[in-house]
Amino acid sequence: MSLALERVSKVVGGQEWIKDISLTLEPGSFNVLLGRTLAGKTTLMRLMAGLERPTSGAVIMNGVDVTGMPVRKRNLSMVYQQFINYPDQTVYENIASPLRLARLPKDVIDQRVRETAQMLHIEAHLERFPLELSGGQQQRTAMARALVKDADLILFDEPLVNLDYKLREEFREELRELFKAKHCIAVYATTEPNEALALGGHTAVLHEGELLQYGKTPDVYHRPKDILTAQMFSEPPINIVAGRVTESEVTFDESVHFKLNQDLSGLKPGNYQFGVRASHIGLVPHADDDLELTVRVDLAEISGSETFLHVRSEQFELILHLSGVHEYAVDQVVKVYFPTHKIYVFDSTGAVVHVPTRLGGR
Amino acid sequence: MNKVENNKAWFLVLPMLLLVAFSAIIPLMTVVNYSVQDILGSSAYFVGTEWFKDILNDSQLQQALIRQFIFSFTILAIEVPLGIGVALMMPKKGWRASLILILVTLPLLVPWNVVGTIWLIFTRTDIGLAGVGLRELGYAYNITRNDGDAWVTIVLMDVWHWTPLVALLCYSGLQAIPQAYYQAARIDRASRWAIFRYIQLPKLSNVLVIGVLLRFMHSFMIYAEPFVLTGGGPGSSTTFLSQTLTTMAIGQQDLGPSAAFSIIYFLIILAVCYCFYVAILNMGRDKNTSQPR
């Protein structure tokens, strides 16, 4: 089963919520919709599900136009941000409900319910009621309900937002495993770039109703087609520094410049914007061609075992994503090392003109 | 800060205690006092439980009690499902919702005896819309002669007056259900009935407890409306408990038996409400009452 959106738009009250999106999802693929709130993730899912009709454009399933087909006639399931279960039915009955509505024989239902419950580790709670369970278990029940019915399309609308950090990591790993054996299309909406990276598969980056880029998740991450995509798909956002390329040098400002290396030698002279990921700037040099910058600390944000170091020079600001806890005083002068071979270069319109070739990790 | 050890705090509770004493305890004790004594002029004799025995064996009162139960359960059986139905049909938002809300609430704002008067005029066979209309249709409608007519009219009057309360409670309960539930049900391909049975009804159970309790208490104490409409007749066919009590206490000045009757009346309401409360609460408890952890 494949799903294609063809030039789909959705206008609500004069506002374009979805702007002319074309997207083809392959059978058996796991797709992440990445975007901030109001990017159109949920609307796009509702269009895919048939809960809403696109203002223009078509939704094609397996080559058949299903644009006007009501959701009741489609075979799909959805998991929400809230934990949605039937409150007065047990976990078992909840999971069985889609199968009962499909009028399957009792023994088949029983077998599938137990299998699915086992996959999601809730087999011990089948006789309990949803509200007697923890949030994570309630969401597992909702996921089991979505997975049990062998839907062609499964939609996850930020399902892990209301769970704690540890549970989210656990879930992500399980989800990837669960879908390896499935042939359905999974669509997963999230606001977190790191969640998209952890889930893998394909990623569609959305921004204000527009589809910026779609492709394999690592490809989109490593080769964003423009500044906006790079900014949307990085947490903390990629550092952007304006600069000039001359015959032999890259200049950020009077004092900061470096020789054009092999990677950048193809660039024509002119004004560019240079992007570098927060995790690529270090406190110690990693390569010979790293550029040493002397900057002042604005803020050292310590989050668990990581530190986000906000620094500024005369002309620009940078964020460093460091592992480990680093304490700095405000206005303290530090030296940071800017990796000149891990630079993204965007032209004045924002389109990417150079992607670093030597990439490792995030 | 220095702590002063004394019992001055009790003085702060005193006004409230006095207030409760005057408003509730003293009047209630007067009734208890009357119920165990025979008072003739200035002399009183202690009679123990004699009045209570008399009251419980009085066939007129037994019939009024039976009538009262039939009435209360009839209107509950009509108003609760009807109220849920009305709530389900009301629009969820927009100006229509506000308009319908006002229209539905209107009967609740009418004072009891005015409701009785409205229906008295409405059912008059010379000028009332319903009375004349039914006669024109060939039905010999007469609430002062036919027991059945009187009953049906009183039940209809109560349904008209109080169904909006149940509907309002259910409407607020329905508004509290997140849209995602309905969406999920559509995706599950659940029928309209399944949505009602497995999503709306469970989420309504809490407001329904309040609705049933309020309606039971109200209807069990009904006085003004039937008094104005039928005066308890024809005969005593629509004489409910409170009217029987009033006749006994004020009409006949049988203060002792009336006091005993009042206490029994009060205890019945208390007991039935408690039963409802426990029953409905337990209905939920089997299913889903434990708080999320």
- Write out pLDDT tens, residues A336-350: 988 888 889 998 888
Residues of A in contact with B287 (CB under 8 A): 87-88, 129
When the pLDDT of each residue in chain B is averaged and rounded to a whole number, the result is 85
Instruction: Write the residue in B184, B289, B290 that is nearest to A78 by C-beta.
Output: B184
The number of helix segments (H) and strand segments (E) in chain B equals 14, 2
Instruction: Write the residue in B187, B189, B290 that is nearest to A132 by C-beta.
Output: B290
Cβ neighbours of residue A264 under 8 Å, at least 6 residues apart? A245, A250, A340, A343, A345, A354
Confidence of residue B285 (pLDDT cuts 50, 70, 90): low
Going from the C-alpha of B74 to that of each of B78, B156, B225, the distances in angstroms are 6, 10, 16
Confidence of residue A204 (pLDDT cuts 50, 70, 90): very high
The reply to whether A246 and A209 lie within a common domain is no
In-domain check, residue A359: no
Residues of A in contact with B180 (CB under 8 A): 80-82, 84
Rounded CA-CA distance A352/B2 in Å is 73
Q: How much is the average pLDDT of A39-47?
A: 90
In-domain check, residue A361: no
In-domain check, residue A234: no
**Among A204, A226, A248, where does a domain finish?**
A226
Q: Helices B147-175 and B95-105: crossing angle, nearest 10°?
A: 150
Please answer yes or no on whether B290 and A97 come within 8 Å at the CB atom. Answer: no
Task: Say yes or no to pLDDT of B288 above 70.
Answer: no
The reply to whether A159 and A281 lie within a common domain is no
Instruction: Choose between A286 and A333: higher pLDDT.
Output: A333
The number of helix segments (H) and strand segments (E) in chain A equals 8, 20
Nearest CA in chain A to B190: A101
The reply to whether A259 and A217 lie within a common domain is no
A140 Cα to chain B: minimum distance (Å):
15
The reply to whether A113 and A253 lie within a common domain is no
Going from the C-alpha of A352 to that of each of A194, A258, A338, the distances in angstroms are 22, 20, 19
The reply to whether A43 and A96 lie within a common domain is yes
The answer to whether residues B121 and B130 touch, using CB atoms and an 8 Å cutoff, is no
Among A215-229, A260-274, B179-193, top mean pLDDT goes to A215-229
Q: Counting Cβ atoms within 10 Å, is residue A156 exposed (0-12), middle (13-18) or buried (19+)?
A: buried
pLDDT digits 0-9 by tens, B269-278: 889 888 888 8
CATH code of A341's domain:
2.40.50.140
pLDDT digits 0-9 by tens, B81-134: 999 999 999 888 888 888 999 999 899 999 888 988 999 888 888 888 888 888
Q: Please give the single-letter amino acid code of residue A164.
A: D
Q: Which two tokens stand for residue B42?
A: 């200035």
pLDDT digits 0-9 by tens, B176-205: 888 888 888 888 888 888 888 888 988 888
Residues of B in contact with A164 (CB under 8 A): none
Rounded CA-CA distance A148/A113 in Å is 7
Q: How much is the average pLDDT of A279-307?
A: 87
The answer to whether residues A186 and A178 touch, using CB atoms and an 8 Å cutoff, is no
Confidence of residue A250 (pLDDT cuts 50, 70, 90): confident
The reply to whether A81 and A188 lie within a common domain is yes
Mutate to test the interface with B, among A76, A86, A147, A156 (most CBs of B within 10 A): A86
In-domain check, residue A72: yes
Q: Counting Cβ atoms within 10 Å, is residue B3 exposed (0-12), middle (13-18) or buried (19+)?
A: exposed
Task: Say yes or no to pLDDT of B64 above 60.
Answer: yes
CATH class of B60-114+140-285: mainly alpha
Mutate to test the interface with B, among A53, A88, A150 (most CBs of B within 10 A): A88
Q: How much is the average pLDDT of A28-53?
A: 90
Q: What does the H/E/C string look like for A95-146? A: HHHHHHHCCCCHHHHHHHHHHHHHHCCCHHHCCCCHHHCCHHHHHHHHHHHH
Going from the C-alpha of A338 to that of each of A147, A157, A161, B14, the distances in angstroms are 46, 38, 34, 77
pLDDT at B289: 42
Mutate to test the interface with A, among B285, B288, B289, B291 (most CBs of A within 10 A): B288
Rg value, chain A, Cα: 24
Instruction: Choose between B291 and B237: higher pLDDT.
Output: B237
- Rounded to 5 degrees, what are φ and ψ at A122? -120, 20
Sign of CA dihedral A127, A129, A130, A131: negative
The reply to whether A151 and A249 lie within a common domain is no
Instruction: Write the residue in B198, B201, B288 that is nearest to A129 by C-beta.
Output: B288
The secondary element (H helix, E strand) that includes residue A33 is strand A30-34
Rounded CA-CA distance A196/A204 in Å is 10
pLDDT at A177: 81
How many CB atoms within 10 Å of residue A8? Answer: 24
**Residue B18 near chain A (CB below 8 Å):** no
**Residue B192 near chain A (CB below 8 Å):** no
Tell me the three state secondary structure of residue A39: coil
Q: Helices A91-101 and A135-148: crossing angle, nearest 10°?
A: 20
Task: Return the DSSP state at A238.
Answer: P
The answer to whether residues A183 and A150 touch, using CB atoms and an 8 Å cutoff, is no
Please answer yes or no on whether B287 and A132 come within 8 Å at the CB atom. Answer: no
Please answer yes or no on whether A98 and B188 come within 8 Å at the CB atom. Answer: yes
The answer to whether residues A145 and A100 touch, using CB atoms and an 8 Å cutoff, is no
Instruction: Write the residue in B187, B198, B289 that is nearest to A76 by C-beta.
Output: B187
pLDDT at B56: 83
Residues of B in contact with A189 (CB under 8 A): none
Please answer yes or no on whether A129 and B194 come within 8 Å at the CB atom. Answer: no
Rounded CA-CA distance B163/A118 in Å is 48
Residues of A in contact with B198 (CB under 8 A): 86, 88-89, 97
The reply to whether A258 and A178 lie within a common domain is no
The reply to whether A263 and A130 lie within a common domain is no
Q: How far is CA A218 from the centre of its chain?
A: 11
Going from the C-alpha of B89 to that of each of B97, B177, B195, B224, the distances in angstroms are 10, 15, 14, 31
Rounded CA-CA distance A339/A21 in Å is 36
Q: Where are the beta strands (DSSP E) in chain B?
A: 37-40, 43-46
The reply to whether A32 and A119 lie within a common domain is yes
Rounded CA-CA distance A96/A127 in Å is 12
- Among B61, B77, B70, which Cα is nearest to B215's? B77
The reply to whether A248 and A295 lie within a common domain is yes
Residues of A in contact with B288 (CB under 8 A): 87-88, 129-132
The reply to whether A114 and A87 lie within a common domain is yes
| Structural domains in chain A (count) | 2
The answer to whether residues A340 and A262 touch, using CB atoms and an 8 Å cutoff, is no
pLDDT at A362: 46
- Does the ipTM exceed 0.95? no
Q: Helices A135-148 and A165-180: crossing angle, nearest 10°?
A: 20
Q: Helix, strand, coil shares of chain A as percentages rounded to 5?
A: 25, 35, 40
Residues of B in contact with A133 (CB under 8 A): 292-293
pLDDT at B291: 41
pLDDT at A152: 87
Residues of A in contact with B188 (CB under 8 A): 77, 97-98, 101, 145
When the pLDDT of each residue in chain A is averaged and rounded to a whole number, the result is 87
Domain that holds residue A140: 3-226
Residues of B in contact with A72 (CB under 8 A): 186, 189
